[in-house]
Structure 1
Amino acid sequence: MRIIGLAGWSGAGKTTLVRRLIPVLRARGLSVSTVKHAHHDFDVDQPGKDSFEHRQAGAAQVLVSSAKRWALMTEHRGAPEPALAALLARLDPVDLVIVEGFKREEVPKIEIHRAANGKPFLYPEDPLIRALATDAVPPEGAPPAMPLDEVEAIADAALRHAAKF
């Protein structure tokens, strides 16, 4: 499996880019999975559902399955958040895993930068940022840059810079 990270400040367009990248990569014949870091207390389950009630009762894991998909929910119950490597190890093998968020992890990354956010570029502080997807003019000495809307070029960069996991 190969892995590429997408890093950027909140509101830069990481999720929008992931949604646009996946069909482009799949059209090239690649299998793709994603790992998304949530920065807040999120829940994929809903109150009133049996699986929610199982978790509320104290189940460490709840696996929900249907004819179309299955999902495994694991409660940390005070344990530390798993490292990215532990999460990646749970995935079935694919050609490329896109990691959204996890900007401090030791994986090659493409930085997503939107000038309107008013935030600085991340690349000067992260030597693992290999390319930029931005609507701004990057400073002298920045990694190679592509416009945010050139999804094919960003897909090329993702494949070029992805690392073996």
Structure 2
Amino acid sequence: MRLFGVAGWKNAGKTGLMERLVTEITGRGLSVSTVKHAHHAFDVDHPGRDSHRHRQAGATEVLVASGHRWALMHELRNRAEPPLEMLLAKLSPVDLVLVEGYKRERHPKIEAWRQAAGHALIAPEDPTIRAVASDVVLPDLPVPRFDLDDTGAIADFILSEVGL
């Protein structure tokens, strides 16, 4: 499975870049799936719905399906967060999986960086960062630098890196 990440600190532009990359790469005829890491509790379900009631009753997994989509929700019930590799194994085959977050994992990544966010760059200390997409010119980077809004060039770079 071809895998490439978008990493960076909060408010660096990761989600917007991911969204633009998915649009750009699928527009080129390739299939893309995404994995998004969340550092907080989240829910894709709503109180009062049958599936939510199943989970509240103690179900470990609840699968909801319709003619348009299906979703599998898995409750960890105080067990450890599963590793990225385990989650990737659950995905159907595609040309490319883009991963948002998981900045400490060892897959190749591009770092999204905005000057106004006020965080230090990850790239100089992390060999898994293969390029930086930023809103300002950054001299003396150990990796290529792209304008954060140059989605086409960033997509070209990622596809070249993964051999597509």
Deviating more after overlay: 154-163 vs 48-57: 154-163
Q: Deviations over 1:59-103 (max 9, x none)?
A: 000000000000000000111100000000000000000000000
Match of 1:121, SS state, is coil
Deviation at 1:161, TM superposition (A): 2.3
Residue 96 (structure 2) aligns with? 96
Deviation at 1:27, TM superposition (A): 1.4
Deviation at 1:29, TM superposition (A): 1.0
Residues matched between the structures, number: 164
Deviation at 1:6, TM superposition (A): 0.3
Amino acid at match of 2:35: V
Deviation at 1:159, TM superposition (A): 1.2
The runs of 5 or more residues in structure 2 that have no matched partner are none
Deviation at 1:136, TM superposition (A): 2.1
CA separation in 2, counterparts of 1:141 and 1:6?
17
CA separation in 2, counterparts of 1:162 and 1:115?
28
User: Per the alignment, do residues 141 and 16 of structure 1 end up closer, same or farther by CA in structure 2, a change over 3 Å counting?
Assistant: closer
| Preserved contact between residue 8 and residue 122 of structure 2 (Cα < 8 Å) | yes
Amino acid at match of 2:55: R
TM (normalized to structure 1)? 0.96
CA separation in 2, counterparts of 1:107 and 1:45?
30
Q: Deviations over 1:36-69 (max 9, x none)?
A: 0011011111101010010000000000000000
Residue 150 (structure 1) aligns with? 150
Written as runs of structure 1 = structure 2, the 5 A alignment for 1:1-165 is 1-162=1-162
CA separation in 1, counterparts of 2:160 and 2:134?
18
